[in-house]
C-alpha cells in the first residue's frame, strides 16, 4: 500500500503549489485567491522508487461556522482521517498566526504523524524566523520552497521514513 500524505494549512500558504511539486502536475489550482482549492484533490507522488499518494485540501478554518468555509474544514478533516501522515504547511513570510495554532491543536487531537513545512522559505533555510514555528509543538520545522523546489527532498525523506 502506498502511504497517503495529506497537505493541511490555512489558505494561501502554498499547499497546492506543494501538491503540484510532489505530483509534478499542474492539476491543483494555484491562485492568489485564498481558499480557491475547495475540494480534496488526489495525486500520485514519487521520490526515487518510493511512491505515495498526496491529498491537497482547501483551507482549514476550524473556528468558522459558515457555509463554504465549514465545508472546507470538513473536507480537510476527512483528508486527515484518510492519511497516514500529514504535512502541515505554514508561511514563513506571514509568520505564525492564531489560525496556525488552531490547526496545530486540531492535529494534536488526531493520532497522525505530522510534519511541519515552513513554505516560501527560498533562500531562508537558516533564517531565525524559523524558530518561532517551534511553538506549534509539531517538531522541527522543515524550511521549504514549493515554488522553487527547495527543501522538498529532505521533507519527504522525513515523511516517508516510517513507511
Q: Which residues bind ligand GDP (CB under 6 A)?
A: 9, 11-17, 30-32, 37, 119-120, 122, 145-148
23 binds, among ligand GDP, Mg ion, none (CB under 5 to 8 A by kind): none
For residues 126 and 147, give the distance between their C-alpha atoms in angstroms, rounded to a whole number. 18
Minimum distance, C-beta of residue 125 to ligand GDP, in the bound complex (Å): 12
Contact 20, 148 (CB under 8 A): no
Minimum distance, C-beta of residue 1 to ligand GDP, in the bound complex (Å): 26
Rg (CA), the chain: 14
Contact 94, 129 (CB under 8 A): no
Contact 11, 34 (CB under 8 A): yes
Minimum distance, C-beta of residue 14 to ligand GDP, in the bound complex (Å): 3
14 binds, among Mg ion, ligand GDP, none (CB under 5 to 8 A by kind): ligand GDP
Per-residue cell: 82:
484518510
Please say which residue, 115 or 120, places its beta carbon nearer to ligand GDP. 120
Amino acid at each position: 500500500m502506498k502511504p497517503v500524505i495529506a497537505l493541511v494549512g490555512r489558505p494561501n500558504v502554498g499547499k497546492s503549489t506543494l501538491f503540484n511539486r510532489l505530483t509534478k502536475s499542474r492539476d491543483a489550482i494555484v491562485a492568489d485567491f485564498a481558499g480557491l482549492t475547495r475540494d480534496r484533490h488526489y495525486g500520485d507522488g514519487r521520490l526515487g522508487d518510493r511512491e505515495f499518494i498526496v491529498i491537497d485540501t482547501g483551507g482549514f478554518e476550524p473556528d468558522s461556522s459558515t457555509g463554504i468555509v465549514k465545508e472546507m474544514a470538513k473536507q480537510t478533516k476527512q483528508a486527515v482521517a484518510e492519511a497516514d501522515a500529514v504535512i502541515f504547511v505554514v508561511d514563513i513570510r506571514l509568520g505564525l498566526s492564531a489560525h496556525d495554532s488552531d490547526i496545530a491543536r486540531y492535529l494534536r487531537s488526531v493520532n497522525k504523524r505530522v510534519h511541519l513545512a515552513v513554505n516560501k522559505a527560498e533562500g531562508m533555510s537558516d533564517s531565525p524566523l524559523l524558530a518561532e514555528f517551534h511553538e506549534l509543538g509539531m517538531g522541527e520545522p522543515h524550511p521549504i520552497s514549493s515554488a522553487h523546489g527547495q527543501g522538498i527532498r529532505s521533507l519527504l525523506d522525513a515523511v516517508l521514513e516510517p513507511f
